[in-house]
């Protein structure tokens, strides 16, 4: 289970590059380069903090699941 997450997480990051880049490109014209970087960066960091705070800890959890 943990191995699956370890292998999948970098793929999510790679997949997020496209919407992040498109968001920056859409914002840089109307609001400028610096503000666009600040907005996109703030949204990305905010989403990552929210996700980190809401993930369930599995340290003491039994990871020996039965597939059925």
Evaluate if residue 2 carries a pLDDT over 80: no
Return d(Cα 8, Cα 6) in angstroms, integer: 6
Q: Is residue 6 part of a domain?
A: yes
What's the structural domain count of the chain? 1
Q: Is residue 49 part of a domain?
A: yes
The answer for residues whose C-beta is within 8 angstroms of residue 31's C-beta and 6 or more apart is 39
12: DSSP letter: H
Query: For 3-15, what is each residue's pLDDT tens digit?
Result: 787 888 889 889 9
Domain limits for position 37:
2-54
Is the Cβ–Cβ distance between 65 and 1 less than 8 Å? yes
Report field, pTM of the whole predicted structure over 0.75 = no
């Amino acid at each position: 289970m943990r191995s699956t997450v370890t292998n999948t997480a970098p793929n999510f990051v790679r997949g997020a590059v496209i919407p992040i880049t498109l968001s920056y490109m859409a914002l840089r014209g109307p609001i400028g380069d610096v503000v666009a970087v600040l907005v996109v960066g703030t949204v990305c960091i905010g989403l990552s903090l929210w996700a980190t705070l809401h993930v369930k800890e599995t340290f003491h959890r039994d990871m020996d699941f039965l597939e059925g």
